[in-house]
Structure 1
């Protein structure tokens, strides 16, 4: 550490420990397990009386969702109650609430990954195998995490006024990502692939098409580009 000019604050260091608490997880030689104080908070949580209390309870449970098999399906009834005007604490919600407490009190210990073995993820939805990973998230590869994070930020910025039509903006997200300068490669992904800079958008010529559907599609693209430019200027 000294040779690399790295320093450690003694008050924040622990040595010769058999287990350590990190971000709400207890890590030891046997694996990773939930923090018992957090589980105690879940078990002591009273039945939610309003949406805020429900979000607090379900959010705490969701933090440890990787320890619970089929957590999204199990918690789906409570997720539905978080929708606008849907909060009604009825019998089904109470049953799910009690079931979550039960499963959270018996969470297994997750084994640590074997880093000397290759990571393989089989994605049922797309049939794609990812043979690379990061040490903190072995379920995905690092590049996928970066792209997903970027697309999430893109959607958050551009669909705030079109929340029911976000799917129509995805293709522009791909274009925007591929034409954004990347520090790691010193150019845009588009230029790295094709060898020249990205062509700029031009105004679409509506008079060249007599097909009504084509005209509507061109008009929609023009409106989207206009909104995109306004959002970029605002940002």
Structure 2
């Protein structure tokens, strides 16, 4: 269930946040593993709203959905996927002609970085024209990066939702360019994460880089 409430203090839900409730500004998302659990969760949420004199606009409410668009993602029992409308916007994006347009493109694609394996490496060439004091030049590398990000989002797989029941495996990777890791559960990808090396990390020997990748994964 999702619904829109008046913009009042929502600390009343703190006890249940990330257990079966997500709150974003004035939107509340209630999620459950089963229909029985969902009925109980809905009853509890509505009771809390009533007790605290918080009101939902019925026309903005949706109940018992098997999938939903939330914060530009599509969430279902199968997992989390990118919003098709946002992907279409990326596909239709014209080649940037200035720094502002490049940053806008990186902002949108970067929002979905968790769906792209090695995002920082693919997007790297696009950050060069945005650096201060650098003349804007659209190179072959920029064009390749621009098109590859489109391709990656069009073919992005569904990310699985973590279950507290099963364990998970973390695959880490380290190179002289950056660090990355992919946690998997039951053979399905949970998220893709990567970043560039920090200045001091560039001097690390191989075994220290590999350890840094493990630390990066565990911190996130």
TM-score, normalising length from structure 1? 0.48
Mark the CA change 1:78 to 1:121 in structure 2 (over 3 Å): closer, same or farther.
Answer: same
Gaps of at least 5 residues in structure 2 are 1-43, 175-189, 192-220
Question: How much does 1:121 deviate?
Answer: 6.8
Aligned residues: 127
Question: How much does 1:56 deviate?
Answer: 0.7
Gaps of at least 5 residues in structure 1 are 126-137, 140-235
What are the residue-to-residue correspondences of 1:87-166 with 2, within 5 Å? 87-117=136-166
CA distance in 2 between counterparts of 1:10 and 1:90 reads: 52
Structure 2 SS opposite 1:14: coil
Question: How much does 1:85 deviate?
Answer: 2.9
Residues 180-222 of structure 1 show CA distances to partners (whole Å, capped at 9, x for unaligned) of xxxxxxxxxxxxxxxxxxxxxxxxxxxxxxxxxxxxxxxxxxx
Question: How much does 1:16 deviate?
Answer: 2.5
Answer yes or no: is 1:63 the counterpart of 2:111: yes
Structure 2 SS opposite 1:56: helix
Answer yes or no: is 1:41 the counterpart of 2:89: yes
Aligned to 1:17: 65
Q: Which has the higher contact order (CA 8 A, sep 6+)?
A: 2
Mark the CA change 1:14 to 1:116 in structure 2 (over 3 Å): closer, same or farther.
Answer: same
More strand by share: 2
Question: How much does 1:117 deviate?
Answer: 4.2
Residues 113-169 of structure 1 show CA distances to partners (whole Å, capped at 9, x for unaligned) of 1033467879889xxxxxxxxxxxx98xxxxxxxxxxxxxxxxxxxxxxxxxxxxxx
Question: How much does 1:91 deviate?
Answer: 1.4
Question: How much does 1:11 deviate?
Answer: 2.5
What are the residue-to-residue correspondences of 1:142-221 with 2, within 5 Å? none
Moved more, 37-46 or 78-87: 78-87
Mark the CA change 1:74 to 1:3 in structure 2 (over 3 Å): closer, same or farther.
Answer: closer
Residues 86-126 of structure 1 show CA distances to partners (whole Å, capped at 9, x for unaligned) of 3211111111111111111111000111033467879889x
Runs ≥4 residues deviating over 2 A: 1-4, 6-9, 115-125
CA distance in 2 between counterparts of 1:122 and 1:78 reads: 27
Structure 2 SS opposite 1:84: coil
Mark the CA change 1:15 to 1:99 in structure 2 (over 3 Å): closer, same or farther.
Answer: same
TM-score, normalising length from structure 2? 0.52
More helix by share: 1
| Equivalent of residue 133 in structure 2, options 69, 85, 101 | 85
